[in-house]
Structure 1
Amino acid sequence: MVEGVRPDGEREERRLSAAEPGLWRHVVEQLGTAVAVLDPAGRIVAVNPAAERLLGRAAAVMYGQDLHDLCHRDPGGARIPREHCPLLRALAEGRSTRGDDDRCLRGDGRLIPISWSTTPLTDDGVSQGMVVLIVETAADRHARAERAEQAERAERVERAARTSALESLTERLTLVAEITDVLGQTLEVDEALARLSRLLVPRLADWAAVDLRVGSHQVHRVAVTGPEGRDALQEDWRGHLPSAGEAAHSPLVQVLNGGGPVLQDRADMDAPPDSPLAAVHSAFLGATGAASVITVPLGTRRQVTGALTLVRTDPAHPFGTGDVDVVSDIGRRVGLVIDNARRFGRQRAVAEAMQRNLLPPLPRPGRIQLAARYQPAPAGSQVGGDWYDAFMLKDGTLALVIGDVEGHDLTAAAGMAQLHGILRSLAWDHAGPTGAVVDRLDDAMHAITTVPMATLVLALVEGPDTGPWTLRWTSAGHPPPLLLTPDGNAQYLEAGQGLLLGADLGAGGHRPSAAHALPPGSTLLLYTDGMIEVPGSDLDTGLGRLRRHVLALAHEPLDTLCDRLSSLMPGSTDDIALLALRLPVP
């Protein structure tokens, strides 16, 4: 039985055949061909799932609808007059028929070519309607298959394009991240630009040029990087460039004057230059064989430090807008590094000048020779608190001081200057042991200065101008003095060691003093820990290295010895102070 709809809207059951009611469910519903059952008036009373798919409509929507009016169309897509419809005529006459060149209007509005066939339904000779089988024609199935294949090909192409774009974006972001990391490792402009060039060429471009503004209108091309084997061309294009000016409209001039990034192709580069700077830059692009060029500012529009120019020479692989965005980001980051480096350079110059001005000139104690060196830390504004001093006491004794205040900044340098003045005052007329002077300095340090901790050696060289001489000293947590004698022996004076300044000595505690005879012709070195402490090396290794260097330079003049010792400590990350004394030979 098949459930249908009477004209009055009430549902009824129509007998399709003498078969069991399960026939529809087990056969018709699983049939791959679309099947629709019409009542004698041509209204739909049942459809199978294949008909729902073909007609593009749900069964519940189609029940009670006139099949002819709903979806039967001629080959041109127009409605077929009912009196001319072969399907309705077969229904009225109760006979079988078929059609091969009609169209069906789907629920989505699409027309599809179909063929159909009908079989009348009768009960005791009375017409009960008909069964209509609808088949989409092979031509349309082929067209649909071809369209589906085309759509699949298009999707594959689009998917590949998306994948390629994602890979390209990932590569660009990785490059920006690497450049950011590399630039953050140095505050030296030359080193930063060298690292930048190694990342840009050849990964992103065939040539790279960096121009920096010097003064208001002067431009200096500080870096040119290209393919291996083109070193001569790179050297030829470095150096000062003509004035940038302000009225010119060439891309490089506009970028240097605060304009945005510019992308040029070969046709753009053929435009005649409108300024001397543009002429030089145009000649550079011609020498590199540029086919596509990006020029971006270094820094921001409010603070343009210079310009970055990237060149590609292959016309088949020009730069795109995505490249412009990436290079613009790189330009901003490079500009910030250069600006910070320049600020650092000015700060460091001021700090070094302050530090050197705080260090006193050396006295001239008769035939005794004195030499000193100060070398700031190689990185950062770390002028530090390393210091030396040499002065004559009230009784004519020569006092030597080497010290290191905690910290590596201008505060440490200021604290060093405070200790320097206090120690001179305390030692000037004190006739007692050196340990007592250092203890008095420790007592006064927290009350008079802002220094939290410090180390130092206070040494007195006693004896007439012709000798003999005795060294008396106290060390407050500082590396030991090094004595080099004419017989080729170099020894560290380990005695006289006490706690550093700022440490708690406890009730009744005091720092020891020590004494040692100084042979004629001997050399005494006082130094800070930058001379012996190198990252990755322990203190004993550093002391041994310094001792070997001093022995190798034993016969050099005192100034030469100090210069050579300072240059032999390339791995130190701290500032260095060195005070050297050499006694005369009778």
Structure 2
Amino acid sequence: MTRVGGPGAGGDAATLGDPVALVGGTSPADLSVVAGGASAAVLLVDLATRTVVHANPVAEQLAPGVELPVGLDRWSDVADLRDVDGAALSGTGHPLSRVARSLPVAGQAVSAARLSELGRRREPLWVVALPMLGAPALADHALVAFLPLSRREAARDAADAAQAQAQVRDRAVLATGMSFTVADARSGDAPLVWVNPAFTAMTGYSLQEAVGRNCRFLQGPGTDRAAVAAVGRALAAGEELTVTLLNHRKDGTAFWNQLTLSPVHGPDGELTHYVGIQTDVTARVAADDERDRALAAERTARAQAEAARRDAEESRGRLELLAEATSRLAVTLDVAECRQRLLDVAVPVLADWALVIATDEHGSVADVTARHRDPARAGDLHRYVEHWATALAPGPVRATLLGGEHARRISDYDAEERRRERETWVNDAAVLELSDALGAASVLLVTLPGRQGSEDVLALVRGPGRSRHTEDDLHVAVDLGRRAGLIIDNARLYGEQHRIAATLQNSLLPHLPAIPGVRAAARYRASESGARVGGDFYELIDLPGEAVGLAVGDVVGHDVMAAAAMGHLRGLLRASAWDTTGPSPETVLDRVDRLLDGLGMTTMATLAYARATPAEDGTWLLEHATAGHPPLMVRSPDGRVDALDDVHGLMLGVQPTARAGARRRLVPGSTVLAYTDGLVERRGEELTTGLARLARTFAEAPQDVEGLCEHLLARLGDTDDDVAFVALQLGPR
């Protein structure tokens, strides 16, 4: 429905399809809202024969398949009319039966079950029926209109209103709340043939004054010609129309008229009449106009407030972006992850796609990290990076990489004159094509400064579909670059220190000597986090008298000092164990502990040491002792695994004390496993659980010591602590 015709034209008229019409804003007693702009089903009933002789398309949908003329009761049965509670209508109370007896139906609630444009469910309807007294050629007919109600509650409200009004006026006058007109469609000018009293009350024109005239007599100089043309087109095409236009009463006063025209057809399908439902919506239009003026004033004030608030919001947004970047970058000490997190923050807020370009000490590209807001473009971005890294020529990018500029904004990156300049920046034209394909209209280049200068550059690129970078964007990018540069530099320095410590630690780990009669293998793996380096170590010593020494230890701490202390401890252990007298393992641990104390070394460590000596009967004598270390494990040739947990001792560096040792006879083919706690301990788990898991894994591992070590590392090496272990297989004598 539209409203045209004069100043202040506004929203749709209230209808019974609108719950507000009967429940809020409009009194339920105001039955004029029933007309609304909704599609109504209209019948013309021959009172003499009690037959429906004319119906509009909506009525045909209510009773599909019915051919006119048809008996009134038959039509009602096909339409399956019921009261609003769903009960069948009685014969005497049937609204159509009443109108057949020439009694007006000022308003009654019913419902219909047929699918139509009125809805897909059983819909409540409001029935209005009036004998057309005084209508030329239709004086013995009645007009019946079924108007849709949106809810059952609306039907009840309307029925209550009708009952209340019936107490103060004649029921035939109740319909004055709804203005009905009937026009002859077969006459070229569509003259009116009947109007109800409500039309007279609304316009001031009586039945005699209106019949024979086209409704245009209600128009005036303020009536919009577009509205009149729309009415003319609907009449010519035989179509339904709802329009709101400016009309004038007989006394010259103007009012807004909401007009709904509905075509009515005869038994042969010929268009015979137009039924009009008219509603005075002047008050509503005035309210709409006042609302529109208030809304316009509100929009103006809101726009001003938003403009004033925008700067504050943008400033707050920049601060939030920088705070998020700092918090996200600071949680990792891995350089590659820092660069990726930086891109995650910058895209898509500052860019559609971005690069972090890492350089070496000569300013050459060493690595490029890239991110696109669209994951589907990752392949295109990867190809661009591959070309770009080798095609870079002198230009602003290289100037920024070499430290000549700290920041640059290129907001016209896609301009034709800029393209000619860009061709000088690279020595491979494919790079420009790839960047254009990715979408490059505006670019920011900022350095990521560290303590010793700039080694990284951040490139932020926006495509043609986004606003170009502003000076404010550049300031944010520069601040972001400063923060990210320091954090990445910290991660880089930490990485260098870790590599130094790891190199030191690996250099201190021994190459296992080849010893007759035994086979040995060992493994060392730094923690998966890569953030720590420690003092884990293993040792295999070829002792005098055909004996073999086996040790594994763990110095307290995870830093370069722990790695260095581990080297000292290994030296003390080898010196204490190498003796022609063949000292027992507990004696060796006592010597090491006293040396640490005597030399003033503050090292604290756990250590397990074993000495394997061949016996004359072909077996091996295994002597062992421990200083706070997890127990050694032995696997027999038959696959049985035992933990050597029969001795315990205080860790080294706490207080020198006498230690106990134990002895066990082993058959050839037995394998001794010494390991650090990283192989068994897991966060939040009991040590016994880890030891049981190691025993099971040890039992099912290959017999070959190299295969054994690979098996253990693959199954148990994924941990957040360093892992070191050595396996010694005792052969036959």
Shorter chain as normaliser: what TM range?
Answer: 0.5 to 0.7
**Is it true that 1:186 corresponds to 2:332 in the alignment?**
yes
Residue pair 1:269, 1:282 contacting (<8 A) in 2 also = no
Does the C-alpha gap of structure 1 residues 316 and 358 become closer, same or farther in structure 2, counting only changes over 3 Å? closer
Aligned counterparts of 1:174 and 1:158: Cα–Cα separation in 2: 24
| Alignment-derived partner of residue 369 in structure 2 | 223
1:419-443 CA-to-partner distances (Å, cap 9, x unmatched) read 2222222222243432122122212
How far the C-alpha of 1:573 sits from its partner, in A, is: 2.1
Of 443, 450, 471 in structure 1, the residue corresponding to residue 594 of structure 2 is 443
| Alignment-derived partner of residue 98 in structure 2 | none
The percentage of counterpart residues that share the same residue type is 36
Residue pair 2:450, 2:489 contacting (<8 A) in 1 also = no
Aligned counterparts of 1:225 and 1:201: Cα–Cα separation in 2: 8
| Alignment-derived partner of residue 395 in structure 1 | 545
**Is it true that 1:581 corresponds to 2:728 in the alignment?**
yes
Of 674, 680, 685 in structure 2, the residue corresponding to residue 526 of structure 1 is 674
| Alignment-derived partner of residue 419 in structure 2 | 270
Aligned counterparts of 2:643 and 2:524: Cα–Cα separation in 1: 21
Residue pair 1:305, 1:338 contacting (<8 A) in 2 also = no
Does the C-alpha gap of structure 1 residues 316 and 503 become closer, same or farther in structure 2, counting only changes over 3 Å? closer
**Is it true that 1:459 corresponds to 2:610 in the alignment?**
yes
Q: Where do 1:499-538 residues align within 5 Å?
A: 499-504=650-655, 509-538=657-686
Q: Could you tell me which amino acid in structure 2 is paired with residue 448 of structure 1?
A: L
| Alignment-derived partner of residue 25 in structure 1 | none
Secondary structure of 2:380's counterpart equals helix
How far the C-alpha of 1:397 sits from its partner, in A, is: 1.1
How far the C-alpha of 1:526 sits from its partner, in A, is: 0.5
Residue pair 2:353, 2:461 contacting (<8 A) in 1 also = yes
Q: Where do 1:329-368 residues align within 5 Å?
A: 329-368=479-518
| Alignment-derived partner of residue 700 in structure 2 | 552
Query: How many residues get paired?
Result: 432
Does the C-alpha gap of structure 1 residues 300 and 440 become closer, same or farther in structure 2, counting only changes over 3 Å? closer
Residue pair 2:717, 2:723 contacting (<8 A) in 1 also = no
Q: Could you tell me which amino acid in structure 2 is paired with residue 568 of structure 1?
A: R
Q: Could you tell me which amino acid in structure 2 is paired with residue 237 of structure 1?
A: Y
TM-score (norm 2): 0.55
Secondary structure of 1:482's counterpart equals strand
Aligned counterparts of 2:384 and 2:711: Cα–Cα separation in 1: 37
Does the C-alpha gap of structure 1 residues 402 and 207 become closer, same or farther in structure 2, counting only changes over 3 Å? same
Secondary structure of 1:229's counterpart equals helix
Does the C-alpha gap of structure 1 residues 289 and 465 become closer, same or farther in structure 2, counting only changes over 3 Å? farther
| Alignment-derived partner of residue 480 in structure 1 | 631
Aligned counterparts of 1:281 and 1:304: Cα–Cα separation in 2: 25
| Alignment-derived partner of residue 99 in structure 2 | none
How far the C-alpha of 1:332 sits from its partner, in A, is: 2.4
Residue pair 2:702, 2:711 contacting (<8 A) in 1 also = no
Secondary structure of 1:234's counterpart equals helix
Aligned counterparts of 1:170 and 1:543: Cα–Cα separation in 2: 54
Aligned counterparts of 1:487 and 1:332: Cα–Cα separation in 2: 64
Does the C-alpha gap of structure 1 residues 562 and 218 become closer, same or farther in structure 2, counting only changes over 3 Å? same
Residue pair 1:418, 1:449 contacting (<8 A) in 2 also = no
Does the C-alpha gap of structure 1 residues 317 and 278 become closer, same or farther in structure 2, counting only changes over 3 Å? farther
Secondary structure of 2:598's counterpart equals helix
Does the C-alpha gap of structure 1 residues 407 and 286 become closer, same or farther in structure 2, counting only changes over 3 Å? same
How far the C-alpha of 1:283 sits from its partner, in A, is: 4.0
**Is it true that 1:254 corresponds to 2:399 in the alignment?**
yes
Q: Could you tell me which amino acid in structure 2 is paired with residue 255 of structure 1?
A: T
Secondary structure of 1:404's counterpart equals strand
How far the C-alpha of 1:514 sits from its partner, in A, is: 0.8
Aligned counterparts of 2:466 and 2:336: Cα–Cα separation in 1: 33
| Alignment-derived partner of residue 307 in structure 1 | 457
How far the C-alpha of 1:382 sits from its partner, in A, is: 3.1
| Alignment-derived partner of residue 318 in structure 2 | 172
Secondary structure of 1:361's counterpart equals coil
Q: Could you tell me which amino acid in structure 2 is paired with residue 502 of structure 1?
A: G
Secondary structure of 2:376's counterpart equals coil
Q: Where do 1:6-405 residues align within 5 Å?
A: 156-220=302-366, 222-226=368-372, 227-239=374-386, 241-242=389-390, 248=394, 250-258=395-403, 259-264=405-410, 265=412, 266-267=414-415, 269-273=418-422, 274-276=424-426, 282-299=432-449, 303-379=453-529, 382-405=532-555
TM-score (norm 1): 0.67
| Alignment-derived partner of residue 228 in structure 2 | none
Does the C-alpha gap of structure 1 residues 173 and 563 become closer, same or farther in structure 2, counting only changes over 3 Å? farther
Aligned counterparts of 2:441 and 2:431: Cα–Cα separation in 1: 14
How far the C-alpha of 1:202 sits from its partner, in A, is: 2.6
Secondary structure of 1:348's counterpart equals helix
1:80-128 CA-to-partner distances (Å, cap 9, x unmatched) read xxxxxxxxxxxxxxxxxxxxxxxxxxxxxxxxxxxxxxxxxxxxxxxxx
Aligned counterparts of 1:213 and 1:463: Cα–Cα separation in 2: 60
How far the C-alpha of 1:400 sits from its partner, in A, is: 0.8
| Alignment-derived partner of residue 564 in structure 1 | 711
Aligned counterparts of 1:228 and 1:304: Cα–Cα separation in 2: 30
Does the C-alpha gap of structure 1 residues 522 and 436 become closer, same or farther in structure 2, counting only changes over 3 Å? same
Aligned counterparts of 1:432 and 1:581: Cα–Cα separation in 2: 20
Of 634, 648, 673 in structure 2, the residue corresponding to residue 497 of structure 1 is 648
How far the C-alpha of 1:566 sits from its partner, in A, is: 2.4
| Alignment-derived partner of residue 469 in structure 1 | 620
Does the C-alpha gap of structure 1 residues 487 and 560 become closer, same or farther in structure 2, counting only changes over 3 Å? same
How far the C-alpha of 1:352 sits from its partner, in A, is: 2.0
How far the C-alpha of 1:444 sits from its partner, in A, is: 1.8
How far the C-alpha of 1:470 sits from its partner, in A, is: 1.9
Unaligned runs of 5+ in 2: 1-294
1:177-196 CA-to-partner distances (Å, cap 9, x unmatched) read 22222222223233223333
| Alignment-derived partner of residue 424 in structure 1 | 574
Residue pair 2:525, 2:717 contacting (<8 A) in 1 also = no
Q: Could you tell me which amino acid in structure 2 is paired with residue 442 of structure 1?
A: D
Aligned counterparts of 2:616 and 2:691: Cα–Cα separation in 1: 31
| Alignment-derived partner of residue 118 in structure 1 | none
Q: Could you tell me which amino acid in structure 1 is paired with residue 307 of structure 2?
A: A
Secondary structure of 1:520's counterpart equals coil
Residue pair 2:679, 2:717 contacting (<8 A) in 1 also = no
Does the C-alpha gap of structure 1 residues 315 and 434 become closer, same or farther in structure 2, counting only changes over 3 Å? closer
Residue pair 2:448, 2:482 contacting (<8 A) in 1 also = yes
Secondary structure of 1:242's counterpart equals helix
How far the C-alpha of 1:538 sits from its partner, in A, is: 2.9
| Alignment-derived partner of residue 565 in structure 2 | 415
Secondary structure of 2:358's counterpart equals strand
| Alignment-derived partner of residue 246 in structure 2 | none
How far the C-alpha of 1:238 sits from its partner, in A, is: 2.7
1:224-243 CA-to-partner distances (Å, cap 9, x unmatched) read 22112112202212337237
Q: Could you tell me which amino acid in structure 2 is paired with residue 212 of structure 1?
A: A
1:352-386 CA-to-partner distances (Å, cap 9, x unmatched) read 22212222222222131011122223445633111
Q: Could you tell me which amino acid in structure 2 is paired with residue 518 of structure 1?
A: L
Secondary structure of 2:483's counterpart equals helix
Aligned counterparts of 1:357 and 1:220: Cα–Cα separation in 2: 28
Aligned-residue CA RMSD (Å) = 2.9
